[in-house]
Amino acid sequence: MNDFSASLSGKPKLQLLWPEHFNLPFLNTGPQRYRIGRARSKSRARAHGLEDITSLKTSFNAWDGVRDLQRHKYRTSDLQYVFLVLVALFSFWVSPPAPGLKTLALMGGVWFALMPATRQFFLPSLAIWVWLLYFFCSRFIPYEYRPHIWVRVLPALENVLYGANLSNILSAHKHYVLDILAWLPYGLAHFGAPAVVPLLMFIFAAPGSAPVFARTFGWMSILGVTIQLIFPCTPPWYENEHGLAPAAYGMPGSPAGLARIDEILGFDMYTTNFSTAPLPFGAFPSLHAANAVLEALFMSHCFPQFRTYFIIYAGWVCWATMYLSHHYAIDLVCGGLIATAFFYVVKSRWLPQRQEGKITRWEYDFVEYGNQSRITDEEYGEFLNLGILDRRRADSSDGWTVGSTSSCSSSSGTLSPTLSEETIPGMLVMGVGENGKIWDGSVPPRDVELSEVVVVRQ
């Protein structure tokens, strides 16, 4: 024991007499900036009065929302709601006078935002609702304030970058089977996927994934519409119908290839809607491609076993947009790049990490957000995720199971084991204080850092 005490000079080091469940990933705690709060088990969370991460609000009392608003600590991220309110007010301002309808819409939005049961769904999707309002009211922006409509830019870029007009090549050979194959993703899946994707993520992905997708989808769409307003360009159908003649605001849109779908179905499903579209010259960037790429990236993150099918879906949508003469290839590329940029920015900071073996949201005890918990192993040159420490060996029977939610404390910045009521056979665990002295039991036990733990054999 004297030899051991002499070895405590300087920073205490963990002896080699580890329990069999210690491993290298656990010992690599990483720099302070990568450390995150640690998870508590459900039993510990409930004991301290913390809410389950999978629980949902059930109160429809607006006064509960008022009290939550009074207790809310405002952050910089709350400015997003200020911007969304400004976009909504701008949309109401440019639209025709309808004071009763506009007042009712504003009151309904405030009411949904106050009730806890609806707020948990309304606030994450607020950007989507504002985007829809912004898109449909953009038709009322006075023509004198709108920029010039570019007719030759996209065809010229198409020929410079690809050597040909890919949209015209793909739409040159028409067949009713190809029409139906293009209609399914462009005319149906495009409008249904934004509702189906977050529903699947809400049930089967990590808690918090669906709200992150909804916010990302809404903000990306708002940016796309803004670019289309600032840089209006004619789509391929305009070149096919009018050539390169100058375009003017007020000209009707066109269903292009979707008119053949109306003929197959026998009723007007797309002709009238596309002829009166709010942005007939909003070809660049393609929100059809951006939405498909964003949905494929999010679904691949949450369900990597189906990644191939999601990639095929995104490619299917891109082919359909060109076959139906609604977008040039350059529109698809730029839309896909915007979606990719949004996804990887969100993934690095806010998107919950998927955990192996978890099928539904109700199986999650804790959630790690972004990539802050991913650290580099200097010896192997690999990225280690602290989430893998949740794996428990089949023969594990003691309280030192590394990274299990029942043996980790969250009172400090790094993962550290806590002692169970049962001690490890044949081992003595002593804490070392900041003054370098061994804890003698005269003070109450506490959660300790890994660097403070010393294990010796009795």
Please give the single-letter amino acid code of residue 261. I
| Alpha-carbon distances of 158 from 35, 103, 165, 225, 259, rounded to whole Å | 47, 46, 6, 22, 25
- Do you find a cis peptide bond into 425, omega within 30 degrees of 0? no
Q: Are 388 and 25 in contact (CB under 8 A)?
A: yes
Residue 372: what pLDDT? Answer: 59
**385 CB neighbour count, 10 Å cutoff:** 14
Q: Which one, of 382, 398, 414, 196, lies nearest residue 295 by Cα?
A: 196
Per-residue tokens: 114: 């106050």
Alpha helices in 350-440 (DSSP H): none
Average pLDDT over residues 350-366: 89
The structure's pTM equals: 0.71
| pLDDT for residue 289 is more than 90 | yes
For the cut 50, the answer to whether the pLDDT of residue 309 exceeds it is yes
The enclosing H or E element of 384 equals strand 382-385
pLDDT at 221 over 70: yes
User: Does residue 296 have a pLDDT over 90?
Assistant: yes
Nearest by Cα to 291 from 220, 366, 375: 220
pLDDT at 431 over 60: no
Determine whether 304 is exposed, middle or buried from the number of CB atoms within 10 Å of its CB (0-12, 13-18, 19+): exposed
Distances (CA, A) of 25 to 148, 168, 403, 415: 58, 55, 10, 11
How far from 358 is each of 139, 265, 372, CA to CA, in Å? Answer: 46, 43, 21
Do 138 and 229 touch, CB atoms closer than 8 A?
yes
pLDDT, average across residues 263-273: 91
Note the pLDDT of residue 446: 55
Mean pLDDT of the chain: 77
pLDDT, tens digit, for every residue of 85-101? Answer: 999 999 999 999 888 89
State the average pLDDT over residues 136-153: 92
What type of residue is 217?
F
pLDDT(427) > 50: no
Residue 447's pLDDT band (cuts 50, 70, 90):
low
Residue 24 has pLDDT above 90, yes or no: no
Of 5-9, 222-226, 332-336, where does mean pLDDT reach its minimum? 5-9
- Give 81: exposed, middle or buried? Use CB within 10 Å, 0-12, 13-18, 19+: middle
DSSP per-residue string spanning 316-348: HHHHHHHHTTS--HHHHHHHHHHHHHHHHHHHH
